[in-house]
Structure 1
Amino acid sequence: MAQTIVCINNAGMIMQFWIEWVNDDGTQGWTQANSGDYPVDQRRSLDMDALNSQGESIPPGRLVRPHVQAVAGASIAGDRYITYTPGSGTAIYDVTGTSFNYSVTLIQS
C-alpha cells in the first residue's frame, strides 16, 4: 500500500516516470503528469493524492506501479504492483542498468 511512488535513478541514463494502474476490466490507465527528466543519483516522487487533486483520476484501491522511460532508450514498467491507498506511505523503486537494458525493482512498500 502506498500514496506516493519514488523512483531512485541508479542507472546510467536520464529518465522520467509516470504512474500506471490496472482498471477493473484489465486495461491500463496512465497519469498525464510525470516526474520530469532527471539524471543518475537523483530520485523523484509522485504523490497520487496530489495528482488527483490536480485533475488526474487514479482510483483508490487500484494496483499501481511506475512506468519508466529512459531518454533515447527503452520504456519499462516496475516489476511489482502496489495498491494505491490514500493516506498511506511511500513505495520506493530502484532503477538500475542502462538506457536499453535496465530494471525497475520495488525495494520498499
Structure 2
Amino acid sequence: MDMVSESGQVEKYYQFAECLNDGGFVMDFEVYRGDVAGRLDGAGENWNSGRYPIGQRRKIDLGTLRFNGQPPEVGDSLQIFVRVVAGVDKRGPGFLYAPNGHTAVQRAAGTTLFYGIDLL
C-alpha cells in the first residue's frame, strides 16, 4: 500500500522490518515509534534483534510489537535504531506501518564509527 502525502511524495507502508548487516561490525537493532514532532515514543517492548555479524540479517513482524502496551496502528511512523558493538548508535530512515505483507529492508553499511543506514 502506497499513498501520496500532502507534499506529493509517495509514502511506503510496511508490515515487516528487516535489517541487513553489511558493515564491518557486530550490531543489533530495535524498532521505535515516532510522533508528529519527530520524537521517538519508545522501543517495541520486549524485542531486540540480538547481536549479529556482517552478512546476516534479522526480520520482525511489526504487528507483534507493543508500544506502551499497544500494537502499532496503520500509519504509525516507525524507525529502526541500530546499536554497533564498540561503535556509534544510529536511527534508520522512517517508514509507515500497515499489515500488508511488505517488508522495509534496510542496510547498515560502513565501519563502527562511520556507517549509514539505507532503506532499500
The two structures have a TM-score, normalised by structure 1, of: 0.85
1:38 to 38, 49, 52: 52
| Structure 2 counterpart of 1:13, from 21, 25, 29 | 25
Pair 1:4-2:16 in alignment: yes
CA contact (8 A) 1:18 1:66 kept: yes
- Contact 2:108–2:116 under 8 Å retained in 1: yes
* Structure 2 equivalent of residue 23 of structure 1: 35
Structure 2 alignment gaps of length 5 or more = 1-12
Identity over aligned residues, as a percent? 31
Q: In the alignment, which residue of structure 2 is the partner of 1:94?
A: 107
Using the TM superposition, give the Cα deviation of residue 11 of structure 1 relative to its aligned residue in structure 2, in angstroms: 0.2
- The answer to whether the Cα contact below 8 Å between 1:22 and 1:64 also exists between their aligned partners in 2 is yes
Alignment partner of 2:75: what SS?
A: coil
CA, structure 1 residues 34+26, in 2 after alignment: closer, same or farther (shift >3 Å)? same
Distance in 1 (CA, whole Å) between partners of 2:99 and 2:63 is: 6
Question: Is it true that 1:50 corresponds to 2:97 in the alignment?
Answer: no
Q: Report the number of matched residues.
A: 104
User: What pairs with 1:66-105 in structure 2 (closer than 5 Å)?
Assistant: 66-78=80-92, 80-105=93-118
What TM-score, normalized by structure 2, do the two folds share? Answer: 0.77
How far residue 24 of structure 1 moved from its aligned partner, in angstroms, is 4.3
Of 55-64 and 91-100, the range deviating more from structure 2: 55-64
Q: Is the 8 A contact 1:6 1:43 kept in 2?
A: yes
> Could you tell me whether the CA contact under 8 Å between 2:74 and 2:99 is conserved in 1?
yes
SS in 1 for 2:58: strand
> For the residues of structure 2 that align with 1:58 and 1:26, how far apart are their CA atoms?
16
1:12 match: secondary structure:
coil
Q: CA RMSD in A?
A: 1.7
